[in-house]
Structure 1
Amino acid sequence: MTSLADFGFSVVRRMCGVSPVRAAGRRRGVDLRRPAQSLALALGLILSGEMIRPAAADPGFDRFVRDLWPQASAAGISSTTYNHVFTGMDPDPDTLRLMEAQSEFVKPVWDYLSSAVSDDRVKRGRELLDEYATVLSRIEARYGVDREAILAIWGMETNYGTFKGRHNVIRALATLAYAAPRRGDFWSKELIKALGIVQAGHVRYEDMEGSWAGAMGHTQFMPTSWQAYAADYDGDGRRDIWTSVPDALASTANYLAEHGWQTGKTWGYEVALPRGFDYRLADESTTLSLGEWRRHGVMRANGKEFPRPQDDAILVMPAGAGGPAFLMLRNFYVIKRYNNATAYALAVGHLSDRIIGGGSFHGDWSREYLPLSKAETKELQEELNRRGYNVGSADGLVGPATRKAIRAYQKALGLIPDGYASVVLLARMKLDG
Structure 2
Amino acid sequence: MSISRRKFTIGLAALSLAACERSGNAASFVPRSDGALPDDLMPQANAGYDAWVAGFKLRAAGQGISPATLRSGFSGAGYLPGVVRRDRNQTEFSRSLEDYLAIAVSDERVTKGRAAFARHRNVLQQIEARYGVPAEVVTAVWGLESFYGERRGNVPVVSATSTLAYDGRRGAFFEKQLIAALKILERGDVGARGLTGSWAGAMGHTQFIPTSYQAFAVDFNGDGRRDIWSDDPTDSLASTAAYLAKSGWKSGEKWGAEMGTAAAGSATPVSILQPDAGGPRFAVFRNFRAIKRYNNSDNYAIGVGHLSDRIAGGGPIIASFGPDKYGMTIDDRKALQTRLTARGFDTDGTDGVIGPNSRKAIAAYQQSVGLPATGDPSLDLLNRL
Match 2:307 to one of 340, 351, 355: 351
Show the counterpart of 1:409. Answer: none
Show the counterpart of 1:398. Answer: none
Show the counterpart of 1:239. Answer: 226
Note the C-alpha offset of 1:304.
Answer: 6.8
Show the counterpart of 1:220. Answer: 207
**Cα 1:352–1:95 shift into 2, 3 Å:** same
Contact 2:77 2:156 in 1 (8 A): no
Letter in 1 for 2:249: W
Note the C-alpha offset of 1:92.
Answer: 1.2
What aligned pairs does 1:272-311 form with structure 2 within 5 A after superposition? 301-302=260-261, 306-308=265-267, 311=268
**Structure 1 length as normaliser, TM-score?**
0.63
What aligned pairs does 1:71-110 form with structure 2 within 5 A after superposition? 71-103=59-91, 106-110=94-98
Note the C-alpha offset of 1:313.
Answer: 1.7
Identity, in percent, stands at: 46
Where 1:190 maps in the other structure, the secondary structure is helix
Q: 1:211-239: CA deviations, max 9, x gaps? A: 11111000111111111110101111100
Task: Measure, in 1, the Cα distance between the counterparts of 2:258 and 2:45.
Answer: 56
Q: 1:159-209: CA deviations, max 9, x gaps? A: 00000012111111111111134x211110110110111122111111111
Instruction: Identify the structure with bigger relative contact order (alpha carbons < 8 Å, sequence gap 6+).
Output: 2
Show the counterpart of 2:272. Answer: 315
Size of the aligned set, in residue pairs, is: 283
Contact 2:264 2:283 in 1 (8 A): no
1:339 and 2:298 equivalent? Answer: no
Task: Measure, in 1, the Cα distance between the counterparts of 2:212 and 2:322.
Answer: 38
Letter in 2 for 1:314: S
Show the counterpart of 1:122. Answer: 110
**Cα 1:315–1:365 shift into 2, 3 Å:** same
**Cα 1:195–1:317 shift into 2, 3 Å:** same
Note the C-alpha offset of 1:114.
Answer: 0.7
Note the C-alpha offset of 1:336.
Answer: 0.7
Note the C-alpha offset of 1:369.
Answer: 4.2
**Cα 1:367–1:63 shift into 2, 3 Å:** farther
Q: Which moved more, 1:260-269 or 1:124-133?
A: 124-133
Q: Which moved more, 1:158-167 or 1:83-92?
A: 83-92
Show the counterpart of 1:324. Answer: 280
Contact 2:291 2:301 in 1 (8 A): yes
Task: Measure, in 2, the Cα distance between the counterparts of 1:175 and 1:304.
Answer: 47
Contact 1:267 1:329 in 2 (8 A): yes
**Cα 1:86–1:184 shift into 2, 3 Å:** same
Show the counterpart of 2:134. Answer: 146
Show the counterpart of 1:206. Answer: 193
Q: Which runs of 5+ in 1 are unaligned?
A: 1-54, 272-300, 371-433
Match 2:217 to one of 208, 230, 236: 230
What aligned pairs does 1:398-409 form with structure 2 within 5 A after superposition? none
Task: Measure, in 2, the Cα distance between the counterparts of 1:127 and 1:144.
Answer: 22
Note the C-alpha offset of 1:104.
Answer: 5.7
Match 1:177 to one of 154, 165, 168: 165
Aligned alpha-carbon RMSD (Å): 1.8
Contact 1:266 1:329 in 2 (8 A): yes
Q: Which runs of 5+ in 2 are unaligned?
A: 1-42, 327-385
Task: Measure, in 2, the Cα distance between the counterparts of 1:104 and 1:256.
Answer: 27
Note the C-alpha offset of 1:84.
Answer: 2.5
Note the C-alpha offset of 1:107.
Answer: 3.0
Contact 1:265 1:331 in 2 (8 A): yes
Letter in 1 for 2:47: P
Note the C-alpha offset of 1:355.
Answer: 0.5
Note the C-alpha offset of 1:303.
Answer: 5.9
Where 1:164 maps in the other structure, the secondary structure is coil
Task: Measure, in 2, the Cα distance between the counterparts of 1:367 and 1:189.
Answer: 45
Note the C-alpha offset of 1:56.
Answer: 4.9
Contact 1:319 1:369 in 2 (8 A): no
